[in-house]
Structure 1
Amino acid sequence: MRSIPSFLALAMAALAFVGAAQAQTRLKDSAANRELSDRVMALIAKGDMEAGLRLAKPYLATPEPEVEAMIVQARLQTPMLEMRYGKPVGAEFIREDHAGEHVMRIVQICRHEKHLMRWNFYFYQTPTGWVLNTLNFDDKIQALF
């Protein structure tokens, strides 16, 4: 028979595991994926990249420490991006691509005063719904064609 303290420790560990497994939010369909990318881009286009990334965070398949590191890097890079490309002036949906039934990419741009940033949202359909597998951005305008 287990002692009460070891049983409680085991139960708390099980709850922590369940909580971690359920922490990621799923999206129900392609339309929800598009809606999320639009909402993220609206914040980024207003100059609040950190808020946009925080909005995406619950849907990302990336471990939380990596997401937090991405947010910190975005916070540090924002002034340099604005010096080089100017302030954000809007966002624009470019396209949606599917690779089979379970992988989807949404490409959007954040327009700046002098250039643009291309944002790629890669979604993967799991048995319990869609997750944002990868989110990245760059200034490769030629990759839009």
Structure 2
Amino acid sequence: GLWLAGGYAYFFAPPGSAAGGGGVTAHDALGDDVTVEKWLATHPAGDRKLVEGLKGDATYLIVTPDKKIETYALNAVCTHLGCVVPWNAAQQKFICPCHGSQYDSTGKVVRGPAPLSLALAHVNGDSGKVVLSTWTETDFRTGLAPWWK
């Protein structure tokens, strides 16, 4: 299973994309920096919408029930064959349109063929901007080391 991580070598950040502290500022669909204030003003509790995140990958920001941006974000790339996985609000899970893989609300794989959960990223909004950084700690969903290292 860990060999699959080798296929994701393109995830490394391009030069010049890093923000302070080793993170990358998230960008919206227009390429603008995502700010905490603006995001929360336009996205309701429970919302999961895409931003451009680490290595330019489509990444979900999650708005918590108490209207804060969750401290983790989810890489939207399916771990099966790389399709972008949309959030299905009605079913409260991510469902891949390519081969039917499913992930729960935290991005944990619950139905194959995807072999692994969606990759995590840390979210920090202390500067006012949403900054994403690589998740290197244990995956809280599985108790395992991250496969995306």
Question: TM-score if structure 1 supplies the norm length?
Answer: 0.31
Name which one, 1 or 2, has greater alpha-carbon Rg.
Answer: 1
More strand by share: 1
Structure in which a larger fraction of residues adopt helix: 1
Instruction: Give the TM-score, by structure 2 length.
Output: 0.31
